Chains A and B, each alone.
Chain A
Amino acid sequence: MSSAPPAPVIDARGVTKSFGTNTVLRGIDLEVHPGQVVCLLGPSGSGKSTFLRCVNHLERIDGGRLLVDGQDVGYELRHGKLYELTERRIARRRAEIGMVFQRFNLFPHRTALENVVEGPVVVRRRSRAQVLERGRELLDRVGLADRASAYPSQLSGGQQQRVAIARALAMEPRLLLFDEPTSALDPELVGEVLDVMRDLARDGMTMLVVTHEVGFAREVADVAAFMADGVIVETGPPRQVLDDPQHERTQSFLARVL
Chain B
Amino acid sequence: MTPAPGVTADPADPALPVVPLRHRGRFVAGLIVLVLTASFLVNVAGNPNLDWPTVGEYLFAPLTFRGLVVTLWLTFAGMAIGIVGGVVVAVMRLSANPVLRTVAGLYVWVFRGTPILIQIIFWGFLGAFVPTITLGIPFTDVVLYSAQTSTLIPATVAALLALGLNEIAYGSEIVRAGIQAVDHGQTEAAKSLGMTPAQTLRRVVLPQAMRVIVPPMGNETLTMLKTTALVSVIAGQDLLSNLQAVYAQNFKVIPLLIVASIWFLVLTTLFTIPQRRLEQRFGRGVAGSAVARRPFARALETWKARR
Q: A87-B197, A123-B199 are in contact. Are A153 and B287 (CB under 8 A)?
A: yes
Known A107-B186, A108-B286, A118-B203; further 6 A-B contacts with Cβ < 8 A: A58-B191, A106-B189, A122-B203, A123-B199, A151-B284, A168-B192
Bound state CA distance, A153 and B192, in angstroms?
A: 22
Residues of A within 8 A of B197 (CB): 87
> How far, in whole Å, are A27 and B190 apart by their CA atoms in the complex?
29
On chain A, the residues within 8 Å of B189 by CB distance are: 99, 101, 105-107, 164
Q: Which residues of B contact A87 (CB under 8 A)?
A: 196-197
Q: How far is the CA of A106 from the CA of B204 in the complex (A)?
A: 10
Contact (Cβ within 8 A) A105 B186: yes
Show the binding face of B for A, using Cβ within 8 Å.
183, 185-186, 188-197, 199, 203-204, 207-208, 282, 284-287
> Would you call A158 an interface residue if the criterion is a C-beta within 8 Å of the partner chain's C-beta atoms?
no
- Picked from B185, B194, B203, B286, the residue with its CB within 8 Å of the CB of A94 is B194
Residue in B195, B207, B284 whose CB lies within 8 Å of A123? B195
Residue on B with the closest CB to A56? Answer: B192
Query: A107-B204, A122-B199, A153-B285 in contact; A95/B185 too (CB < 8 A)?
Result: no
Chain B neighbourhood of A111, CB < 8 A: 285
Contact with B along A71-111 (1 / 0, CB 8 A): 00000000000000001100111111111010101111111
Q: How far is the CA of A88 from the CA of B194 in the complex (A)?
A: 9
Q: Is A167's CB within 8 Å of the partner chain B?
A: yes
A56 to B193, CA, bound (A): 10
A-B contact count (CB 8 A): 77
User: How many chain A residues have a CB neighbour from B under 8 Å?
Assistant: 33
Say whether A119 faces chain B, with CB atoms less than 8 Å apart.
yes
Q: Are B194 and A91 in contact (CB under 8 A)?
A: yes
CB pair A119 B196 closer than 8 Å: no
Residue of B nearest to A96 (CB): B194
A91-B196 contact, Cβ under 8 Å, with A103-B185, A109-B207, A122-B203:
yes
Q: How far is the CA of A56 from the CA of B194 in the complex (A)?
A: 10
Which residues of A, 106-135, contact B by the 8 Å Cβ criterion? 106-111, 118-119, 122-123
Q: Which residues of A contact B (CB under 8 A)?
A: 56, 58, 87-88, 91-99, 101, 103, 105-111, 118-119, 122-123, 151-153, 164, 167-168, 171
- Give complex CA distance A144, B51 in Å: 70
26 A-B Cβ contacts within 8 A? A91-B191, A91-B194, A92-B194, A94-B192, A96-B194, A99-B189, A105-B183, A105-B185, A106-B189, A107-B186, A107-B189, A107-B204, A109-B284, A109-B286, A118-B193, A118-B203, A119-B195, A122-B193, A122-B203, A123-B199, A151-B284, A153-B285, A153-B287, A168-B193, A171-B193, A171-B194
Most buried by B among A106, A118, A167, A168: A118
Q: A122-B199, A153-B285 are in contact. Are A108 and B208 (CB under 8 A)?
A: yes
Contacting pair B185 A110 (CB below 8 A): no
Q: Which residue of B lies closest to A58 (CB)?
A: B188
